[in-house]
Structure 1
Amino acid sequence: MKLGLQLGYWGAGMPPNAAEMVVAADEAGYDAVFTAESWGSDVFTPLAWWGSATRRVRLGTAVAQLSARTPTAAAMAALTLDHLSGGRAVLGLGVSGPQVVEGWYGAPFGKPLARTREYVDIVRKVLAREAPVTSDGPHYPLPYTGPGADGLGRPLRAITHPLRADVPVWLGAEGPKNVALAAEIADGWIAVYYSEKLADQYNSWLDEGFARPGARRSRADFEVAANVSVTVTDDPAAAYDRHRPVIALYAGGMGAEQKNFHADLFRRMGYGEVVDEVTALFRAGRKAEAAAAVPDELVAETAIIGTAEQVRAQVGQWGDRGVTMLMVGCQDAEQVRAVAAVLAQN
């Protein structure tokens, strides 16, 4: 089982200990370090800044939001980071949701599957650098000839030669069609919340994508990275309490009330009534009560919490079900090292 350190996105300010955690992950044998973006800090700058102090770990976006930048701009950022890191970039992409896409980026959210397919195709064309990049797709036409165009655009090839033409592209996905698309066109799948209870369902979605004509990978060389918090403790109750507010945010406040993909995921896990209660409380501004309504069972299903023996056993179970990397969220460098030490015995 590979380990990835998930730094996530910033809150009100820069996390004070992220630089130390990145170095600790590099020294402790983690495979990769990942950052995220929502509607505050961006996903590439922290990787370039903190990643400059590392020598071995891969540097990945988990995820870069499609609507934050055009596909050519995403390819440029990945190309640049790959050069700066000596070939360690991983480009994780995701569509986000309508609340962010339309409310923050001022772009339409519709056709997320078609947009993702077209986006990834253009990124790969830029990185391959085999010809000037063109695209006939309706979402990212190149050259642009639509309303307001001067008609002077022409296909261009990247000036900078990519260090690698095959920078890994992973997709963050939660629903069945998105997960299948990841298996078809990407090099890896980022699971925002993984549940062993749904492993058969996940694997059937992945198998559907692998079976499509022209699929890029097979299960043998495809990454399944599960976002998860790993806490080694003899006091699981305290760890559960730390997780409740985060789950309440994702279930009740992340996304529009009418369309929240995280809430849909928790419903598929069998927590529909919990989602309804948490959403009602969160939307009413009663966030503490929303967190309190998150049951231990939901926390235990989406986080790995327990003694060293219990943690190793659960990680082994996830590995048996197809997970190849744990994308771990940690609080400090000490926890980064502790998780590595515990799982080194698996």
Structure 2
Amino acid sequence: MKLDVALGVEGGYLRRIGEVARAAEELGFSGLVTSETKHDAFLPLAVAGSVTRRLQLLTSVAIAFSRSPMEMAQTAWDLQELSEGRLILGLGTQVRAHITRRFGMPWGRPVARFREYILALRAIWDAFQNGTPLNFEGEFYRHTLLTPFFNPGPIDHPEIPVYIAGVGERLARLAGELCDGFHVHPFHSPEYVRRVVRPGIAAGAAEAGRSPEEVRLATSVFVITGESREELEAQREAMRAQAAFYASTPTYRTVLEVHGWQGVGERLSELARRKRWEEMPGLISDEMLSAFAVEAPPEELGEALRERYGGLMERISLYVQFVPGERERFWRRLVEALLGG
């Protein structure tokens, strides 16, 4: 199992990325993961790719529908060339409100649009690498012009793995049909992965004549760990609040339904509509929390993660910020436990 480090989004995002990347590589992490909430997902990877030699570079995720396929293709191509083949391009759709009201971009039939987006990316990369005439005409995207002046040309590692993220069965099927990997949302349980994600991937792979084993699974994990009772309790309540936030969103109700907890999701949605945020964590029982988070003392966390995700995930990161120079013994022990297993 591969352990990645997730880049935090607070203060000095770009200024500290070189230090973070070098420290992560020295400690033995497999990859560096960026997300796209408050900041761009790609700029940090350009810095990280320049100061490391082994660390894989992952977006989890970059928002596809806020960019055209051509823009995404160019950015990924440059990062792949810079890093000598270490990029894993993770893409997500976001939701209608953010695409239309925050990014000001079109929305509609997101799964069909996403499928076409991935096909357009690969057509563009084929034109970059092989000089194939660019002639992609779909329902949502049309790319038919690429003169030599605008073609970056071939690179040494042209095969860029594409992972997509999703919650429901339809995007899992798309991953099975077309993609190299699937990012499971941090709000998940192993049972949900086994009952929703894996069957969806298998169905999509069967339709495309592929093996579902070609699709790698990755996720970020809620963890509860600490040296003292007070630290454990603080983390437990923080994770309870995080789980309540996600569970209040109808998009993530699929996860709850696997366990028969959809009624809790409906009550959480109602509290969120009424802005009664402080009452929401109280609806997440200890049983629910144990389904969504891994709790263990620091010295046992690696084994607990291996027990839960061994054979289920190829790579994981923790929903915990990595700070160079802090908790080095904890991180080194975790890397050794997971990579050694």
Same fold, TM-score > 0.5, yes or no: yes
Report the AA paired with residue 6 of structure 1: A
Residue 132 of structure 1: aligned partner: 133
Per-residue Cα deviation, 1:49-83 (whole angstroms, up to 9, x for no partner)? 24433221111111111112111111111111111
Question: Which has the higher mean CA deviation after the structures are superposed, 228-237 or 24-33?
Answer: 228-237
Q: Kindly state the Cα deviation for residue 26 of structure 1 after the two structures are TM-superposed.
A: 1.2
Per-residue Cα deviation, 1:105-132 (whole angstroms, up to 9, x for no partner)? 2233221111111111111122223313
Report the AA paired with residue 30 of structure 2: D
> Alpha carbon RMSD of aligned pairs, Å?
2.6
Report the AA paired with residue 23 of structure 1: R
Query: Is 1:199 matched up with 2:200?
Result: no
Structure 2 CA distance for partners of 1:270 and 1:339, relative to 1, 3 Å: farther
The aligned runs of 1:134-283 (5 Å cut-off) are 134-143=135-144, 154-156=145-147, 158-193=151-186, 194-201=188-195, 202-215=197-210, 218-233=211-226, 235=229, 236-252=232-248, 260-283=250-273
Structure 2 CA distance for partners of 1:232 and 1:35, relative to 1, 3 Å: same
Residue 22 of structure 2: aligned partner: 23
Report the AA paired with residue 339 of structure 1: L
- For the 8 Å contact 1:133–1:156, the answer to whether it is kept is no
Gaps of 5+ in 1: 144-153, 254-259
Structure 2 CA distance for partners of 1:115 and 1:2, relative to 1, 3 Å: same
Structure 2 CA distance for partners of 1:104 and 1:270, relative to 1, 3 Å: same
The aligned runs of 1:58-137 (5 Å cut-off) are 58-129=56-127, 130=130, 131-137=132-138
Task: Pick the aligned partner of 1:317 from 308, 319, 325.
Answer: 308
C-alpha distance in 1 between matches for 2:11 and 2:140: 33
Percentage identity across aligned positions?
27
- For the 8 Å contact 2:17–2:47, the answer to whether it is kept is no
Structure 2 CA distance for partners of 1:45 and 1:314, relative to 1, 3 Å: closer
C-alpha distance in 2 between matches for 1:161 and 1:323: 33
C-alpha distance in 2 between matches for 1:83 and 1:329: 29
Question: Which has the higher mean CA deviation after the structures are superposed, 283-292 or 90-99?
Answer: 283-292
C-alpha distance in 2 between matches for 1:341 and 1:213: 37
Query: Is 1:52 matched up with 2:50?
Result: yes
Structure 2 CA distance for partners of 1:305 and 1:21, relative to 1, 3 Å: farther
- For the 8 Å contact 2:172–2:198, the answer to whether it is kept is no
Structure 2 CA distance for partners of 1:164 and 1:18, relative to 1, 3 Å: closer
By percentage of residues, which structure has more helix?
2
Q: Kindly state the Cα deviation for residue 19 of structure 1 after the two structures are TM-superposed.
A: 5.1
Q: Kindly state the Cα deviation for residue 263 of structure 1 after the two structures are TM-superposed.
A: 3.5
Q: Give the number of equivalent residue pairs.
A: 325
Question: Which has the higher mean CA deviation after the structures are superposed, 167-176 or 188-197?
Answer: 188-197
Residue 256 of structure 1: aligned partner: none
Per-residue Cα deviation, 1:95-150 (whole angstroms, up to 9, x for no partner)? 1111211121223322111111111111112222331322221111124xxxxxxx
Structure 2 CA distance for partners of 1:311 and 1:206, relative to 1, 3 Å: same
C-alpha distance in 2 between matches for 1:7 and 1:271: 32
Residue 330 of structure 1: aligned partner: 320
C-alpha distance in 1 between matches for 2:215 and 2:189: 19
- For the 8 Å contact 1:305–1:311, the answer to whether it is kept is no
Structure 2 CA distance for partners of 1:266 and 1:42, relative to 1, 3 Å: farther
Residue 149 of structure 1: aligned partner: none
When normalised by structure 2's length, the TM-score is 0.85
Gaps of 5+ in 2: none
C-alpha distance in 1 between matches for 2:209 and 2:143: 24
Structure 2 CA distance for partners of 1:286 and 1:16, relative to 1, 3 Å: farther
Q: Kindly state the Cα deviation for residue 281 of structure 1 after the two structures are TM-superposed.
A: 2.3
C-alpha distance in 2 between matches for 1:42 and 1:97: 17
- For the 8 Å contact 1:21–1:336, the answer to whether it is kept is no
Q: Kindly state the Cα deviation for residue 311 of structure 1 after the two structures are TM-superposed.
A: 4.7
Query: Is 1:6 matched up with 2:6?
Result: yes
Secondary structure of residue in 1 paired with 2:142: coil
Structure 2 CA distance for partners of 1:274 and 1:62, relative to 1, 3 Å: same
